[in-house]
A and B are shown apart, each in its own frame.
Chain A
Amino acid sequence: MAPDRAGHPPSLSRPITIIVPVARWWAWWLRLTWQFADRSRWIKAKLLGFEFIHVAHWSLVDRLPAAAPRDEALALPTPYLLFQTNYNGDAANYVETFALEAAWRIDGIWRGAYDFPGPRPSSRFVAFVLERALEGPPQSNAYHYYAGYPSGTVRTVKAALKLRAGLPELERQAAEAARLGPYALADVWGAFLADQQRNL
């Protein structure tokens, strides 16, 4: 398996981190809208439906240390939007899918970032993100990454969890069927496979 277009090594879980300066008024907009958006299943459902995002966070930072009282911190000249995600698959496909399938959501997050090209055409947005991806070329900053279940994609993790949730019922039905004979047991197994085939 070759490195993806962001230059990440061949593995199933990968990181992308980007940090971009945003206009001060945009930081206020994000702080305001995130209060609603972060609790909105409607806004998140589309993004989670892509099934390649393990976890993603967007944060604002306007001083260092980020959570210190303002009078004890170094104020940054403009706020910064930090995006970090753990995902599987190809980085360019990830970003492109965002641009094509969730354009207004992308606009609602990055519109106030300096040099943000907008979600369309998607090739410009892909370039905007990948050129700023801190782990991969062209930046290639030193980093260490750990995934607790490196063989699991979002899709296989979700499928495995659903499959596992069905096992107690399979065992219960199988115990009943085993008393009736091998044909009944085979029928229970066949029904389980038919019910769970999308998770196998």
Chain B
Amino acid sequence: MRARGIDRAGLAALLPVRKDAEPALEALLKDLGPPSPFARIERTHFARLLLMPPLPAARDGNLEAVPRCLLFSAEFDGSAGGYVESLCQLMGSEADAIFGHCVGFPGVRRPAAVRSWLFTHRLHAGFSLHGHPGATVAEVRESLRSREELIEFALATRDADPSTFARVWAKRPWR
């Protein structure tokens, strides 16, 4: 776990869906955003909600007796517990609507119970890869913005003489 940058483990949970709720959840996921409610949790790098099909059997067919699951997974800055609190606070109505179709969801008014519920369903990542693990969402966004500004500045000043460049430099946008 990290205090900053992507939490190495992320948070992923397989959440059994109530049998009668599958069509409603499917419709809800298809209509969710844009904008995504996860955008309100600014430390979210990536998030997904996926209504899984029945699990495939080892040989043929599917495990029809096992309930279909909603896969919730997110990559974020900070701790998983803190992220669940943010989920309850910042996208409460959507979280209630989505996870309310899952077995045992306690409701966002009880964030500690939501945390316990999600952690009981949590998948442990055994092997993980992180392309840029040390950077927070804010740092990535700021860096991408600065890069665009630097590129534009470089293109705009490529033919400038030193005196003109010095005047333009005083107005550089990334300061």
Which residues does A use to contact B, with CB under 8 Å? 13, 15, 17, 19-21, 30-31, 34, 37-38, 44, 47-48, 51-61, 64-68, 74, 76-78, 80, 82, 84-86, 109, 114, 134-135, 139, 141-149, 151-152, 154, 156-161, 163-164, 167, 171, 174, 178, 181-183, 185-186, 189, 193, 199-200
Contacts and interface: CB of A to CB of B under 8 A. Distances in A.
Interface string B125-144: 11111111001010111111
A126 to B, nearest CB: 19
B135 A157 contact: yes
B93 interface: no
Given A55-B45, A67-B124, A164 B142 contact: yes
A21 B36 contact: no
B81 interface: no
Contacts of A109: 127
Given A64-B16, A157-B131, 19 more contacts: A13-B46, A17-B71, A19-B55, A38-B128, A55-B10, A58-B125, A59-B126, A67-B119, A84-B12, A141-B52, A145-B48, A146-B38, A146-B48, A156-B147, A157-B135, A178-B169, A181-B162, A182-B162, A185-B169
A145 B166 contact: no
Contact of A144 (B32, B130, B147): B32
In order of increasing CB-CB distance, the 3 nearest A-B pairs are A160-B143, A182-B162, A182-B166
A142 B26 contact: yes
A59 to B, nearest CB: 4
Given A57-B125, A154-B131, A185-B165, A163 B51 contact: no
Contact of A160 (B55, B144, B157): B144
19 contacts: A31-B126, A47-B129, A55-B46, A59-B123, A65-B120, A76-B63, A82-B71, A134-B52, A134-B71, A142-B27, A142-B29, A142-B30, A143-B51, A152-B144, A156-B147, A160-B140, A163-B150, A182-B165, A189-B169
